[in-house]
Amino acid sequence: MAGLGEVISDVILCSLYIYLLIRLATAKDDYFKSPFYTFFIATGIYSVMTVFFYQIVRQFVEQYWTHYIYKLSYGLNSFAAKGATFGKVNISIHRYFVIRNHDFAEKKCSRSLVYKVLAVQFVIAAIFTIPVIPSTYVYKNNNENEEILSLDKNSMLILKIIGVTMYLLYILCNSIFTVLTSRELLRLKNILENNSTTSKKIMVQQRNMFIIVSLCSLSHLLKALQQFIIGVSTYIDMASLTTFIWSLYPLVNGLSTYAAPVCLVLLSPTVRSRFLKGFLPTTSGSSVDPTTSTQQRYAQ
């Protein structure tokens, strides 16, 4: 069973994350209708699911009726983890193409294309979770009346191979686009260095978005390494190492889950204003001055 501190921290952080996603999804301003925020919200839903279903498995693992929900919760956790990984790739690729264009247009992708990408994201995550369906359980002391330890060894190995492969592809893809984006950012800095205040604001905004995407990559790198070690230790029957690495999952998954939203709130005044406005008295006027130009709005 998970520790009380772990549960409390997840309840607080996950609740704030859900609140942020709701605030972004219900915003009427076109600023929050761009592909970036659509990908961010979809990825956020998957990320929240990983925390929720992980805690279900952890909290009820010793209950006699656990076998009715363990496989379902484990499968949904695995599905959500893969969906979140795919989503962060979408965000990284989109950021590169935005900064590569001199007009910095956030809405180069059509809404239909964005929805197709989200559909592919869902289907791939679902397909990669199929090995959970035929899996069986490993019980403590090989007694079905004891607590469930995990899914069977072969199913776990297949899932870990799929997971690690996906994480490694994610790291490779994100590394390529992070390098390409950083080069474009340096080029942009040289172009806008001595230009107007608005241009400098755009530069700051693009730099902040680059930081967010880079932190996503780093946090997922740690998660990929953890999943790789678990896969290897499970295959060679190093139960103690597997147990220890699994004990770090809340920390690693928390970093992977919460790094992006925390950075987004801290680095984007527009998002921060939208997030905090729910806690503050309602005032007249829109969240962004309607007289502000398109470039200025995306510089916020």
30-87 residue pLDDT tens: 888 888 899 999 999 999 998 888 888 777 666 656 677 888 888 999 999 899 989 9
What is the predicted pLDDT for the residue at 219?
Answer: 79
Domain ranges of the chain: 4-293
Please, which pLDDT band fits residue 183 given cuts at 50, 70 and 90? confident
Which among 233, 221, 96, 216 has a CA at the least distance from the CA of 156?
233
In single-letter form, the type of residue at position 110 comes to: S
Supply the pTM of this predicted model: 0.81
Q: Which residue has the higher pLDDT, 63 or 296?
A: 63
Please, which pLDDT band fits residue 158 given cuts at 50, 70 and 90? confident
Please state, rounded to an integer, the average pLDDT across all residues of the chain: 79
Indicate whether 289 pLDDT > 60. Answer: no
CATH architecture of 4-293: Up-down Bundle (1.20)
Angle between helices 70-100 and 153-192 (to 10 degrees): 20
Indicate whether 299 pLDDT > 50. Answer: no
Q: Mean pLDDT lowest for which of 21-25, 204-208, 275-279, 282-286?
A: 282-286
**What is the C-alpha to C-alpha distance for residues 179 and 265, in angstroms, rounded to an integer?**
24
